[in-house]
Each structure stands twice: as structure tokens, then as C-alpha cells.
Amino acid sequence: MSGDLERRDRRQRAEKSAGSGRQLAATIAGWTVGALGFAVFGAAAIALAFVHQAGVVRTDLLGAQTKLSFVPQIVANRDIAGLNQVSGEVLEQTNRADANSSGPLWDLASSFPLVKDNTQAVQELTAMTRDLTGRALPPTVALLSASDFSSLAVEGGGINLEPFRQAEGALPEITSAFTDAKVVTDGIDRTNLLPIVTEPLDQVAQIVDQAAPSLTLVQKYLPSLLAAAGGDGPKTYLVVFQNNAEIRATGGNPAASSVMVVDDGRIELKEQSDSMAFYAAGQAGRSVLDLPESTLALYPDTFTRYSQDYTFSPDFPTTARLFESLWNRTDGSQFDGVMSIDPVVLAHMLEVLGPVDLPSGEQITSDNAVKLLLSDAYQRYGDAGDNGRSSDEFFATVSSTVFSRLAGGQWNPIAMFDQLTRSAQEQRINLWFRDEQAQSLVSEVGLDGGLRADNAASTQVGIYFNDFSIGKLEYHLATEVFATCNAADRTVNMSVNMRNSITDDITNAYTLGFRNSDYGLPPRTMMLNALFFAPPGATITALDPADGDIPSLSRSGSENGNSGESRMVTLGQGESRTVSYTVQLPAGPLGPLDIRHTPTASDTPVTVDASCDPFVAGFSS
């Protein structure tokens, strides 16, 4: 009996103990589930809060970027109130973004390896944007408030230099802000960044990447630019007008020119001349500059003896030195610089100036300028007078009349700058300065029209044309340029499609090819010396046409370390054809690919194939 009671008691204690264990387990399980639920809920809440905060930061950064993108146009319009408003809005957004990208949530997020890079990038970006805005915009507002950059033209002709003098004081802080910002954006590792981070980063970085180098360049060279504009005393320049109708490597026959004096920004046209003046002075036919035999071997023997042929070379500094020497021998003139433009540049400028009334009673406009100067003038005057003097006089009248309009100062300088930039991109403006610092500037921005002596800054390849027919046929020449590459082989192939569109109604002897009959060719056939140049250290491995259409006129040589080949190419009336060559680039680092060509009377489309992308950026090895 007592044994049964004992067994029952043990069973009850065991059942009670088991029940307590189950209850404890259930309690622990409940606590665990609750804790896990709370943890999950808490983590989700924290994550949602962080995502919300990150979204606010992203929105503010993108908003600031959008407003910053408007700043250049606001500055161009000299809208001080608008700039003040944008400055305040951007500062507000960047301050908010900076405040929202710090704190416990961001510290916690930074403890996770996959999130750390993104949070750090956002924090660096927001701090940089806030700092950039706070440092760069206030001095910009102050500069615009003190200077009227929208009214740079001065009556009587020239540019008001005072705003640029005032800019010298503001530029260091603005430039420093953008330079420091570029260090930050360049230093952010994008490897593990999410699209939500890279989008605002890339957009802000794009603004910084565009502005920082330009500001550095302006700050570096502004004193030289002011001096070149006569800020420290008068400067004398020779302005050469290249006639694309009789094509030359950098544009055309440079028969017409003007002497221009610039004093404290004011421009005065002192003298107009043409190639006939050098005949009258007994200087025509005499070589005015000693050049290496390897360079002279590339060109006809008239190259250094007649000013009309000084632009045979695609190296404008050589052309400038030839003109400087010629003028010095003729009347003792010395120039602080030589620059060249063509009638297409004039047409671009007339888009800003508007129509100009000529003494003849007609108007010259942006639409008719090129045809009027390069075709109609020869139909009217080409056969009259001594060697076409009537057409030269017409050119002189047009240029002096347009200059008078420029001197009036009633035009938009910002719009004019845009048109000059367009002309420069079309390779129609070439500048040479005696001052080394000013020349360094034009070389750095690619306005020197020079053959590079090395491949550090750029790797140049180019095809150029020189008229051989002695006529004005090339007004009717249309060209297209194409480049393809093989990065593995380090080769570049450049080709030019050409078309001769001259019509039967062009009959004046001054336009038609004077030399053509000597070679049994019709007078409307273009005879072109095609020049093919390889950059220093490179070799030309293929040419088309290999021997040229008249092999006896083929030439080989080098200029400024660039090896060159010249081949005679003929292009009949209504004919289209392609010339091309292949260049084997040298080993080692190379600067970005630079495609050069002769500017014609019409626009020349340039197509660089995607296969050239590695060269466009430059080779580091």
C-alpha cells in the first residue's frame, strides 16, 4: 500500500515538474518570439527610418544639382536676384542634406560592411556640396553685383576690361572651392555604391569636373589675357583672312589682311592690305624664313616665297612667323600676335550682329556672307582689273564695313562668345602670340593651330588639302571626316569623303582652274595636294591613293617632328571620292586623340567610331 502511494507521489511530482518545464519552455519561447518580433519590428523601423532619411538626402542633393546646373545661364544673363535666390535655395538644400546624413542611424548603418561605403560616400558628397556652395556662390554674386559682364562691348569698338580686372580678385576663392570639390568627388570609390548613391554623385561630379579645370585655366592665364587685350599698353596684331575657295591646310589663301591695334580693350583697325602690296614692295618671290629641308620637301617651292601660300602648312605658328618676317622686311612692322579667321567665322558673327548694309546698297547677312564672298564676288569681279583686284577691293570694303558695325558695340558679348567658340570648334580660328604665357594658353585650349612636337597633351592625326589648280574651285568642295581605330594594334585610320558640286554656270576664269590645262584636266576639276600627317614617333602604314593621281607630284617629309606625305588628288565636276590613311601609333603613354582637318566653306561633319574610345581618353601605357 505504502509502495503504491510512493509511486503515485513520484508520478505526480514528475508530472508537475514536466508541466512546470513545459510552462517554462512555453514562457521562454514566448519571450523569444516576442523578443525576435520586437527585434524584427525594431530593425524594420530603424531600416525604414534610415531609408526615409537617405531618400530625403538624395532628393536634396538632386535638387541642389538641378539648381546648380542653372547657374551658368543665370550668370550669363547677369541675373543677380536669380543667382541670390538659387544660392539661398541650394545652401538650404545642402545644409539639410548634410544634417540628415549624420547621427545614430547613419553610425549604425555604417557598421554594416555592405552599407558602409554607401553611407560614407553620401556623407562626403553632402559635406562637399554644402562646402562648395557656401564658398563659391557668394563671391560669384559679389562679382556680378560689382561688374556688368553682359555689357562688355564698348562704343568705338572693343571690350571693357574692368569686369575682368575685378574677376582677378574673386577667382582664387571660387577656383579653390571647385578644386577641393573635385578632390572629393575623384576620391570616392564607386565600386560598391548603389544606384541611389551614384546618381546624385555622378550628377554633382559632372558639374565639378566641367567647372574646375576651366576655372583653374582662367585664373592661371587671366593676367596674360588682360595684357594681350592691351591692359598694360597697346598691342599690335595682324589679322589674316583665309579664303576657303582656294583651299589651304588651315583654311585658304591668306591674300587679305588687316593690322589691328588694341589698347585697354579698345580696338582700332589701322591698315588693310593684300598680297599685291608685297609684289609692289619687291618682296614677292623671296623666301622670308629658313625652314628645315625635311619641311620644305612637303610643299611646292612657292611655300615660303609667296604670302598666298604661307598657309600650305598645317602648323599655324610657322605661318605666323612667315607673315611676321615678311611684314618686317617690307616696312619694318612688328606684331605682338598673328590671328586668322575665314568667311564662315564672319557668317557666325553676323548671327549676333544682324544684317550689315554695304556701300553697294546690298546687305551681308549670316545666310549670304560665305556665298557672297567666296563665289558671287568672283562672278562679278573675278575677270576684271589687274589679277582680280576688283574682288580684293570688294573684300576690303566688306571687312571694313563689318568692323565698323562691330565697333558700334551694340551686340551681345555672351552670344558673340558662343559663336566664336563654335568657330574654334570648327578649326576656323588660329592664334599666335609673341608672349610665351599667352601662347601657352592658346596651345592648351587648342587654338594655336599647331603640329604638336610630342604626344603628351594630345595625339594628332590629320588630313589637309592645298589647292594646286590656282583657282577658287573649293567653294564647291564638301567634306566629311571619319576615324576608326584598333586599340590592340594601336592604329588609327582616318578618311575624308569629298564631293565637287560645281555647276556649269560658274564661268569666270578667276574661279576655274588656271593650271589644269597643263595636266590635261577640265577647268572645273579640283587639283588638291592632300597632306597626311602622323604624330611624333608614329608611322604612316597605308595611303589611299598610295601614289596619288599624278605620281610625279608626290612628296615626303616631316614638320615639327610629325612625318608627312603629300599626294595629288583630282576631283572632277560632280565626282565623289574618299582619301584615307592609317597611322601606327608609338608605344608608351599617349595624350587624347585629336582629329584635325582643313575647314572648308561649308560645315565638315566629323565622326569618330566607338573603336577609338580608348584613344579618345588617351593611352597611359
Tens-place pLDDT, residues 19-46: 444 444 443 444 344 333 333 333 344 3
Q: Tell me how far CA of residue 346 lies from CA of 216, 373, 514, 572, in angstroms.
A: 30, 10, 28, 29
Averaged pLDDT score across all residues of the chain: 82
Flag whether 438 is in a domain.
Answer: no
293 and 146 housed in the same domain:
no
Q: Over 60: is that where the pLDDT of 522 sits? A: yes
pLDDT at 163: 77
Flag whether 15 is in a domain.
Answer: no
Q: Please give the residue range of the domain that contains residue 62.
A: 22-228
Flag whether 108 is in a domain.
Answer: yes
Flag whether 445 is in a domain.
Answer: no
296 and 200 housed in the same domain:
no
pLDDT at 407: 73
347 and 493 housed in the same domain:
no
Flag whether 270 is in a domain.
Answer: yes
459 and 549 housed in the same domain:
yes
- Please name the residue ranges forming H helices in 77-112: 80-100, 104-109
pLDDT at 207: 75
Mean pLDDT of 133-154: 68
CATH number at 356 reads: 3.40.630
The string of DSSP letters for 368-403 reads THHHIIIIIHHHHHTTSSGGGHHHHHHHHHHHHHHH
Choice between 352 and 138, residue whose per-residue pLDDT is larger: 352
568 and 500 housed in the same domain:
yes
Nearest CA among 514, 434, 12, 506 for reference residue 227: 434
147 and 212 housed in the same domain:
yes
540 and 606 housed in the same domain:
yes
Q: Give the whole-angstrom CA distance, residue 446 versus residue 437.
A: 14
Tens of pLDDT, residue by residue over 445-480, are 899 999 999 999 999 999 999 999 999 999 999 999
Flag whether 432 is in a domain.
Answer: no
Tens of pLDDT, residue by residue over 390-430, are 777 788 788 888 888 887 777 777 788 889 889 999 999 99
131 and 247 housed in the same domain:
no
Q: Is residue 369 classed exposed, middle or buried when 0-12, 13-18 and 19+ CB atoms within 10 A define those classes?
A: buried
Q: Give the whole-angstrom CA distance, residue 255 versus residue 244.
A: 11
> Which range, 220-224, 266-270, 297-301, has the best average confidence (pLDDT)?
297-301
Cα-Cα-Cα-Cα dihedral of 125, 127, 128, 133, to 10°?
120
CATH number at 53 reads: 1.20.1410
Confidence of residue 611 (pLDDT cuts 50, 70, 90): very high
Flag whether 439 is in a domain.
Answer: no
Tens of pLDDT, residue by residue over 162-207, are 777 877 777 788 888 888 888 888 888 877 766 767 777 777 777 7
Q: Which of 181, 200, 228 lies at the terminal end of a domain, its last residue? A: 228
**Number of domains observed in the structure of the chain:** 3
Q: Which of 171, 194, 228 lies at the terminal end of a domain, its last residue? A: 228
Q: Which of 198, 228, 258 lies at the terminal end of a domain, its last residue? A: 228
What is the phi-psi region of residue 427: left when phi exceeds 0, alpha when psi lies from -120 to 50, beta otherwise?
Answer: left
SS3 524: coil
Flag whether 7 is in a domain.
Answer: no
458 and 362 housed in the same domain:
no
Mean pLDDT of 282-287: 85
Choice between 258 and 48, residue whose per-residue pLDDT is larger: 258
Q: Give the whole-angstrom CA distance, residue 60 versus residue 437.
A: 43
341 and 208 housed in the same domain:
no
252 and 212 housed in the same domain:
no
202 and 112 housed in the same domain:
yes
